[in-house]
Amino acid sequence: MLSVDGLHKDVDAASKLVQVLAETFPQLDWQDIGKLGGLPVFFYKKAQSVVNELYERLHRRDGRFAFPDIKMLAANVDPLVISVLRREHVVKTTLELATQLDLHTPLPRGGPAEVALRAAAIAALEDIASIGKMRGYDVSPVMLGNYIWACLGQIDKPLCFARHVTKDTTFY
C-alpha cells in the first residue's frame, strides 16, 4: 500500500506516484502508452496531471506533497497545447497531416499521427525548458505546458491552428 507519508521523503516521489496511479487504475486509461516506430511511448497524462494537481494545490500547506522531482514530470499536452505549438512553428507536421488537422479529420487513438503529435509536443517543451534553464530561468516542461494551456491557448483563438480530434480517447 502506498503512503504519502513515506513517499514524500523519496527523491523520486512524483515519478513513483505516477507509476503507482497508472498501475492501480488501468481501467481509467491511466496506462496511456502509445507506439511510435514500434517502440512504446509512455505518456501517463492523467496520472501525471493528478500528481501535478496534488503538488500545485497542496505543497505549500502540506510538505508531504512537495515532491522533489515534480519538475521531472513530462509536460501535459492536449490538442490545445499542440495547436499553439503548431501555430508558433515549434511542432511541424507533414502537409498531409496539417491538412487532416485543419479539416478536423479525426485521428485514431494511438495511431502514428496522434502519438507523434503528442510526443513531438512533449519533446519540444523539454527542449524549451532546457534552453530556459541554461539561461538561468527556473522552468520545467510541466510549467510550460500549463502556461500554454492556461494563458496562450486562451488568447488569439482565431489565430490558433485547428486542434486535432481524437474521438475514441479518454486520455485528454
pLDDT in tens, the chain (172 residues): 556 666 666 788 899 999 888 888 877 766 778 898 999 988 888 889 899 999 999 999 998 899 999 999 999 888 888 988 998 899 999 999 999 988 888 888 889 999 999 999 999 999 999 999 999 999 999 999 988 888 876 665 544 556 656 665 555 5
Question: DSSP states of 6-30 as a string?
Answer: HHTTSTTHHHHHHHHHHHH-GGGT-
Q: Has residue 97 been placed in a domain?
A: yes
Q: Beta strands 33-36 and 39-42: pairing type?
A: antiparallel
Task: Supply the pLDDT for residue 3.
Answer: 62
In terms of domains, do 61 and 115 share one? no
In terms of domains, do 91 and 138 share one? yes
In terms of domains, do 20 and 63 share one? yes
Task: Supply the pLDDT for residue 160.
Answer: 55
Q: Has residue 167 been placed in a domain?
A: no
In terms of domains, do 102 and 145 share one? yes
The angle formed by the CA atoms of residues 67, 61 and 148, to the nearest 5 degrees, is: 60
Indicate the residue among 72, 104, 138 that finishes a domain: 72
Indicate the residue among 56, 72, 88 that finishes a domain: 72
In terms of domains, do 117 and 53 share one? no
In terms of domains, do 41 and 83 share one? no
Indicate the residue among 72, 87, 106 that finishes a domain: 72
Task: Supply the pLDDT for residue 78.
Answer: 85
Task: Supply the pLDDT for residue 80.
Answer: 85
The angle formed by the CA atoms of residues 2, 13 and 65, to the nearest 5 degrees, is: 85
In terms of domains, do 97 and 145 share one? yes
* Three-state DSSP class for residue 36: strand
Which CB contacts under 8 angstroms, 24+ apart, belong to 15-20?
A: 15/69, 15/72, 15/73, 17/47, 17/51, 17/54, 17/67, 18/44, 18/47, 18/48, 18/51, 18/73, 19/44, 19/47
Amino acid in position 91: V
**Domain limits for position 137:** 79-153
Task: Supply the pLDDT for residue 156.
Answer: 57
Backbone φ, ψ for residue 131 (5° rounding): -65, -45
Task: Supply the pLDDT for residue 102.
Answer: 86
